[in-house]
Amino acid sequence: MKESYVRGGNEPPLLEITIGQALDLAATTWPEQDALVCPAQSVRLSWLDLQARAETLAAGLLAMGLKPGERIGIWSLNRVEWTLTQFAAAKAGLILVTVNPAYRLSELEYALNKVKMAALVISPPFKSSDYPGMVTALAPELANAAPGELRAARLPHLRLVVQMGERITPGALSFNALENAGREAGGAALAAIAPHITAADAVNIQFTSGTTGAPKGVTLSHRNILNNGYLVGRGMALTPQDRICIPVPLYHCFGMVMGNLACVTHGATMIYPGEGFDPLITLQTATDERCTALYGVPTMFIAELDHPHFATFDLSRLRTGIMAGSPCPIEVMRRVVDKMHIRDITICYGMTETSPVSFQTGLEDPLERRVSTVGRVHPHLEVKLIDTDGNIVPRGTPGELCTRGYSVMTGYWDEPEQTAQAKDAEGWMHTGDLATIDDEGFCNIVGRIKDMVIRGGENLYPREIEEYLYRHPKIQDVQVFGVPDALYGEELCAWVILREGKEMEAEELRDFCRGQIAHQKIPRHVRFVQELPITVTGKIQKFRMREAMIRELQGLAGED
């Protein structure tokens, strides 16, 4: 009996450098090539430009009194300043805390105080998010403080607020002024600390989505995320000729690791279509900038493919890209390959706690494998699937996926008990995901342990049912989950988004299932909706759907 245990290869060797050193290497190797392009801000930087501005900004942060090891937050959607701050923080020995742009007051206050954030870089207001307004609501003392000398009752550790844009809140320092401070200070302080920054140092804290309990700060080192970006890029066969369209959020690993750090280690160009995701602007940018790669979560690719003007764009230069973030429907993958010309699209699987990627489909894998699995284990990692008793399950049997190796987080910030629960004494990160591994080592994510539906004592995996329903020509998007049931314990519910102009009754959906999938897998409850609750990174929030359905079903029961 073959066990569900796989180990990645030892090639290529891991990079034993810091993110700052990786930027220096890029500037030396590809000095004049485009590093960063942001059409919305009319900015185009070469690797030499990016290095110079990141060093100036790093010198400015040190000049404002920040010390290596302190935490600096970035609270912004996708802008040039985000990436400048990412590389500047790494060069200054600071730990970059990526703050979710969707956070509101209580979440922001929690995050700032949890990691004792000393500085926060914020963007101008965007749509319904007034970032400067929310900061001043928590720290009204800012209005009377000199820049860098904030003393706020509710945010006792925050000293410096840096603001992008033209209109600057009283007490904040403009981003331009911070760069000017760096120019005035010169590079002496930066040069003095450079030898003391190591690849093992923490460089990033990312808060998990916090669907249950308070968000936890995943702490990642230079070695963790630089190597993960490098190996993901290698899995896509990136070269300095590649130009990556990155509409996914930078505050998440998808943007900042699989995007920015894959580019810096391979000399590819980072291209941001805009601050937030817009399918039309993404298609336009991919065309105008001659992009060879496109990133996205499934809902983004669906929005692009179904845009009424999709056929007017020339996407013929696209070669590769990544679909990740949530389960990738097979039918959507096929359309991406056929209609968007992305013949080398890869699927990546992982979690923030593993930097994030641990599995990736290969460019040489048959299309059937690339659309139906998350590929094989990455180099320098081990993965095992275990049952509830901790025993490794046989190949082809569902079990909890556990990862060990260079990519596993150093821990949750200031949460030793939570860290010990997730990362065991042998270094295995327990993901909470249910998966199978076949005889060739290909992994298939069956679902989340907590999403598994137990109906009448039988385990049902929503992912399998969703994959079948995606085949229906009227269905654009679908999510299946469990709701409480008096007779069976749990019953299946499907939330369905129909294609534009299409109509369907619940019975038509059930008829489509009859005789094709087992009767117990046919959703008892079906709701047609206009949208699905998702996080900023495109992760589907099934717990919110479940809560809404429970309320609705209780209401119906009350009317009986």
Residues ≥6 apart with Cβ < 8 Å to 124: 131, 132, 163, 164, 165, 166, 167
Residues 288, 172 share a domain: no
Residues 169, 52 share a domain: yes
Residues 431, 490 share a domain: no
**Is residue 210 assigned to a domain?**
no
Residues 159, 10 share a domain: no
Residues 368, 257 share a domain: yes
The whole-model pTM stands at 0.87
Are 41 and 254 in contact, with CB atoms under 8 Å apart? no
**Is residue 40 assigned to a domain?**
no
Residues ≥6 apart with Cβ < 8 Å to 60: 88, 178, 179, 180, 181, 182, 183, 185
Residue-level pLDDT at 558: 64
**Is residue 397 assigned to a domain?**
yes
* Structural domain ending residue among the three candidates 394, 421, 449: 449
List of the chain residues with pLDDT < 50: 210-212
Residues 394, 273 share a domain: yes
**Is residue 209 assigned to a domain?**
no
DSSP string over 308-324: TTGGGS--TT--EEEE-
Count of domains for the chain? 3
Q: Which residue has the tokens 């920040």?
A: 66
Residues 177, 232 share a domain: no
Residue-level pLDDT at 256: 98
Closest CA to 481 of 466, 462, 464: 462
Residues 53, 161 share a domain: yes
Residue-level pLDDT at 559: 61
Residue-level pLDDT at 211: 41
Closest CA to 535 of 332, 286, 281, 254: 254
Are 386 and 7 in contact, with CB atoms under 8 Å apart? no
**Is residue 208 assigned to a domain?**
no
**Is residue 521 assigned to a domain?**
yes
**Is residue 538 assigned to a domain?**
yes
Residues 477, 418 share a domain: no
**Is residue 442 assigned to a domain?**
yes
Residues 267, 139 share a domain: no
* Structural domain ending residue among the three candidates 401, 422, 449: 449
Domain holding 242: CATH number? 3.40.50.12780
Residue-level pLDDT at 270: 99
Domain holding 526: CATH number? 3.30.300.30
Closest CA to 451 of 516, 558, 544: 544
Domain span holding position 100: 19-34+46-197
Half-sphere exposure of 132 (CA within 13 A, CB side): 19
Residue-level pLDDT at 524: 96
Domain holding 187: CATH number? 3.40.50.980
Residues 462, 351 share a domain: no
* Structural domain ending residue among the three candidates 387, 421, 449: 449
Residue-level pLDDT at 323: 93
Residues 169, 91 share a domain: yes
